């Protein structure tokens, strides 16, 4: 079974690597520190051994000096000899304790102590001789030779060389300590550099890996919104790859659902056009009076029915046009024409509704020429005029004007309605979106008119937007390419 390389595992590994390196260097530092402390202990121990040997030698010379020489007539001071003997015993005890881990030095100290005891025994014999035979100089001479021989062995070369070695160990300790400190400084600098390199490298590797893969997912979201093919599915087993696979599944499901919805909308709207056309013809025949005259109430009902059928037919046409745009099937028949012709045609289409609610549509003359699809532009203007009339109060006025600026002609439709909340100015062109305020309640509408206007304008390469007027009302503005 393949180990799932999750994003958290990658982060853990990248974070743990510098820690392991740091711990390794710390253990190295600790080992150097331990070696340094051992070297320092050896230095102190060597100094103690050398000092102890020096004290022993001094005490030995004191014993010899106190004993006098071959020609001395004074007896050996027993109290002084006992004190010197105790001091020397103490010196040897300390020295043997210090030499416990050094076999050659311990053997040299043992040999020295044996010779020292032999020398002291010879001195005791000299003491007895002086007490019993004061004039026996020649007899004591041999004993004095024995004392000198044993004293020479007490301070023989091995013992002196051991002292010199210990002094040498103690003297080189500062240099060893300096070397240890130099190594520790080098390790710390190396550790700082490696930690920095590992940290920066890990951060770059991790962030680039994450941001690159997240950028792919983000680009897929943009491609899905733009109805473009998605990028290939990301490889790997981490959370980002899992997210991308889920996104591809979701996109596939959405496209299938959108395709099914389009097919349903096209089917329904196509099947609705025929009965709606039939209803319009029947209502037209009834209004003509060829099948009997209607009283005023019946005529009013016929007008209401005809208006609702026309609204339903317009809704069906809007739905079909939106699906055409989404499918890339809407085409434009561009040609140069006077924009004022569209103003006049759109006013005629919206005029009946304006007269009904007692709103005046004022169209300002213009000689601007545009390169566009005249029927589509007329439909945009008719939708904007009808929308402006719907939200204007009785007795209000809708103003339509055009202004040419460079390569574009800007057309505006102003009403005297309550305006649009600022937070909704960007969203009112979305499908089925309507203004959400108290004044818009009961106004009706499908929410597709402004969407159709935006689609047609953008197919011409222009832009459309809405803005609130300073005093009261709303202005819709759209741009069309001017004729060169």
Q: Are residues 314 and 390 in the same domain?
A: no
Q: Are residues 155 and 252 in the same domain?
A: no
Q: Are residues 376 and 418 in the same domain?
A: yes
User: Would you state the pLDDT for residue 160?
Assistant: 62
Supply the CATH number for residue 53's domain. 1.20.120
Q: Are residues 318 and 336 in the same domain?
A: no
Domain boundary among 323, 342, 358: 323
Supply the CATH number for residue 259's domain. 1.10.287.130
pLDDT digits over 319-337, tens only? 777 777 766 667 888 999 9
Q: Are residues 169 and 318 in the same domain?
A: no
Any domain includes 335:
yes
Any domain includes 220:
no
pLDDT digits over 173-185, tens only? 666 666 766 776 7
Q: Are residues 117 and 246 in the same domain?
A: no
Any domain includes 215:
no
Long-range contacts of 141-144 (CB under 8 A, 24+ apart): 141/70, 144/69, 144/70
Supply the CATH number for residue 436's domain. 3.30.565.10
Indicate yes or no: pTM above 0.85.
no
Q: Are residues 388 and 301 in the same domain?
A: no
Q: Are residues 456 and 349 in the same domain?
A: yes
Highest mean pLDDT out of 47-56, 106-115, 455-464: 455-464
Domain boundary among 292, 323, 354: 323
Q: Phi/psi at 363 (nearest 5 deg)?
A: -110, 120
Q: How far apart are CA 79 and CA 76, in angstroms?
A: 9
Q: Are residues 382 and 315 in the same domain?
A: no
- Determine the average pLDDT of the residues in 236-249: 81
Any domain includes 205:
no
Any domain includes 319:
yes
Any domain includes 348:
yes
User: Would you state the pLDDT for residue 378?
Assistant: 92
Give yes or no for a contact between 429 and 451, defined as CB atoms under 8 angstroms apart.
Answer: yes
User: Would you state the pLDDT for residue 443?
Assistant: 52
Q: Are residues 343 and 263 in the same domain?
A: no
Q: Are residues 27 and 160 in the same domain?
A: yes
**pLDDT averaged over the chain?**
77
Domain boundary among 323, 350, 366: 323
- Determine the average pLDDT of the residues in 171-198: 70
The number of folded domains in the chain is 3
Q: Are residues 250 and 340 in the same domain?
A: no
In terms of residue numbers, what domain contains 174? 7-185
pLDDT band at 109 (very low <50, low <70, confident <90, very high): confident
Any domain includes 192:
no
- Determine the average pLDDT of the residues in 73-88: 65
Any domain includes 211:
no
């Amino acid at each position: 079974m393949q180990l799932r390389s999750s994003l958290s595992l990658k982060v853990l590994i990248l974070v743990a690597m510098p820690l392991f390196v740091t711990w390794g260097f710390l253990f190295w530092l600790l080992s150097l520190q331990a070696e340094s402390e051992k070297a320092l202990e050896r230095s102190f121990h060597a100094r103690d051994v050398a000092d102890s040997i020096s004290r022993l030698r001094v005490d030995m010379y004191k014993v010899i000096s106190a004993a006098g020489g071959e020609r001395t007539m004074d007896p050996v001071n027993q109290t002084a000899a006992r004190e010197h003997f105790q001091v020397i015993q103490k010196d040897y005890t300390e020295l043997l304790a210090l030499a416990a881990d050094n076999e050659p030095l311990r053997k040299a100290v043992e040999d020295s102590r044996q010779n020292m005891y032999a020398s002291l025994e010879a001195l005791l014999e000299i003491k007895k001789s002086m007490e019993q035979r004061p004039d026996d100089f020649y007899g004591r001479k041999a004993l004095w030779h024995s004392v000198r021989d044993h004293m020479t062995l007490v301070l023989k070369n091995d013992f002196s060389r051991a002292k010199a070695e210990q002094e040498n160990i103690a003297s080189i300790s500062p240099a060893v300590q300096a070397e240890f400190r130099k190594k520790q400084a080098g390790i710390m600098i190396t550790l700082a550099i490696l930690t920095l390199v590992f940290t920066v490298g890990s951060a770059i590797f991790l962030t680039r890996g994450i941001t690159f893969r997240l950028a792919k997912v983000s680009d897929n979201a943009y491609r899905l919104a733009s109805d473009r093919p998605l990028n290939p599915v990301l490889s790997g087993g981490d959370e980002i790859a899992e997210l991308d696979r889920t996104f591809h599944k979701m996109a596939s499901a959405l496209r299938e659902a959108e395709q099914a919805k389009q097919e349903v909308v096209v089917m329904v709207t196509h099947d609705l056009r025929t009965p709606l056309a039939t209803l319009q013809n029947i209502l037209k025949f009834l209004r003509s009076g060829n099948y009997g005259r209607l009283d005023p109430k019946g005529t009013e009902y016929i007008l209401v029915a005809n208006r609702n059928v026309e609204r339903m037919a317009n809704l069906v046409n809007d739905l079909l046009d939106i699906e055409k745009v989404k499918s890339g099937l809407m085409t434009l028949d561009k040609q140069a024409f006077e924009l004022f012709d569209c103003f006049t045609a759109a006013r005629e289409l919206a005029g009946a509704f304006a007269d009904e609610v007692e709103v005046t549509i004022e169209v300002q003359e213009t000689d601007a020429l545009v390169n566009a699809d005249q029927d589509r532009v007329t439909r945009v203007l008719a939708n904007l005029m009808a929308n402006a009339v719907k939200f204007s109060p009785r007795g209000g006025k809708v103003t339509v004007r055009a202004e040419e600026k460079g390569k574009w002609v800007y057309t505006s439709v102003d009403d005297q309605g309550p305006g649009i909340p600022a937070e909704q100015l960007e969203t009112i062109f979305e499908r089925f979106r309507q203004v959400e305020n108290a004044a818009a309640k009961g106004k009706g509408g499908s929410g597709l008119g402004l969407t159709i206007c935006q689609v047609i304008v953008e197919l011409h390469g222009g832009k459309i937007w809405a803005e609130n007027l300073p005093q009261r009302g709303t202005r819709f503005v759209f741009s069309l390419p001017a004729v060169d």
